[in-house]
Amino acid sequence: RKEVEQDPGPFNVPEGATVAFNCTYSNSASQSFFWYRQDCRKEPKLLMSVYSSGNEDGRFTAQLNRASQYISLLIRDSKLSDSATYLCVVNVNNDMRFGAGTRLTVKP
Amino acid sequence: NAGVTQTPKFQVLKTGQSMTLQCAQDMNHNSMYWYRQDPGMGLRLIYYSASEGTTDKGEVPNGYNVSRLNKREFSLRLESAAPSQTSVYFCASSEVTAGSGNTIYFGEGSWLTVV
């Protein structure tokens, strides 16, 4: 079983839609959690950290459920520019472990 | 604002050839990393350097060597390239060891094909 698992997608949604991605992790000792965004043939960039209480940054909301060992990312009012691959990242004993990513395409 | 710069961007090697990927960061970060990214596998850590003068193996170190030349530079060497090393390689840096939650900044990637 992979340490960090994500649905690879692709998720194809119309502009304005709300879309949610889930990520599960296997190590219960994981300490911190992040979402990174990666555009096609580009480097990953930090989108947001994920806090236990949940956190929001504009149209993006991240949630953490430690009991069930999953992290979610919700994107509201999708824009064309949101099209990218979203990487779930988990800190396991001071080692950042990346999921394979979920690809999102937002269509007009 | 260069951030993390890595070269070359594209390279084709023959099996058994050697090459070095160069990486430099201008953010005065202590920690630097080399990852590889393969379809369906996500980013996997090859080697990292928590500070100048130290290097440690990551998840997939076999077939690679690294050198932390100074605080700015961290190179990755393939001594005898194999087709299994065909991948996209990312150099990255962060202010402290990644586990503390500090942002990791990535270079633009190096596309390596071994034939």
A89 neighbors A31 (Cβ within 8 angstroms): no
Tokens 């990666």, located at residue: A38
DSSP A6-55: E----EEEETT--EEEEEEES-TT--EEEEEEE-TTS-EEEEEEE-TT-E
Question: Which chain A residues are Cβ-neighbours of B44 within 8 angstroms?
Answer: 98
Closest CA to A81 of A50, A102, A104: A104
B104 neighbors B30 (Cβ within 8 angstroms): no
| Tokens coding A65 | 């459920």
- Of all residues in chain A, the percent with pLDDT exceeding 70 is 97
Interface contact flag, A42 B90, Cβ < 8 Å: no
Beta sheet of B19-25, edge-to-edge order: B4-7, B19-25, B74-78, B64-68
Q: Which pLDDT tens digit goes with each residue over B9-64?
A: 999 999 999 999 999 999 999 889 999 999 878 899 999 998 889 999 999 999 99
| Predicted pLDDT of residue B97 | 57
Cα gap A51→B109, rounded to integer Å: 29
Question: Which chain A residues are Cβ-neighbours of B58 within 8 angstroms?
Answer: 95
Closest CA to B112 of B15, B3, B4, B2: B15
Nearest CB to A91: which of B41, B90, B98?
B98
Interface contact flag, A91 B44, Cβ < 8 Å: no
H or E element: which one contains A56?
Answer: strand A55-57
| Predicted pLDDT of residue A2 | 77
Question: Which chain A residues are Cβ-neighbours of B97 within 8 angstroms?
Answer: 94
Measured between CB atoms, does A91 come within 8 Å of chain B? yes
- Whether the per-residue pLDDT at A61 is higher than 60: the answer is yes
Beta bridge partner(s), residue B11: B112
Measured between CB atoms, does B6 come within 8 Å of chain A? no
Q: How close A32 gets to chain B, by Cα (Å)?
A: 7
Q: Which pLDDT tens digit goes with each residue over B72-113?
A: 999 999 999 999 999 999 999 987 655 556 688 999 999 999
Rg of chain A in Å (alpha carbons): 13
- Whether the per-residue pLDDT at A94 is higher than 80: the answer is no
Task: Summarize chain B as % helix, strand, coil (round to 5).
Answer: 5, 50, 45
